[in-house]
Amino acid sequence: MPIIKADLELCQGYANCVMEAPKLFDISDDGIVVVLEEEFGEETRGRVEAAVRSCPVSALRIED
């Protein structure tokens, strides 16, 4: 099953991922991404890919 990986050092808290997939991502009080569900199914892949692409600092990736 594919998983979402976040580079917390790169994250700048733009929250584009939250706008693309609010059930999978949140932003902490410190302004850093929180991955709410690391594993995801194929029915969610489109949203996850959109969230990964939307990150302006490339802090997100998918590992298959």
Q: What is the pLDDT along the chain (64 residues), one digit of tens a residue?
A: 999 999 999 999 999 999 999 999 999 999 999 999 999 999 999 999 999 999 999 999 999 9
Q: Which domain holds residue 7?
A: 3-63
CATH label of the domain that carries residue 44: 3.30.70.20
| Domain count within the chain | 1
3-state secondary structure the chain: CCEEEECCCCCCCCCHHHHHCCCCEEECCCCCEEECCCECCHHHHHHHHHHHHHCCCCCEEEEC
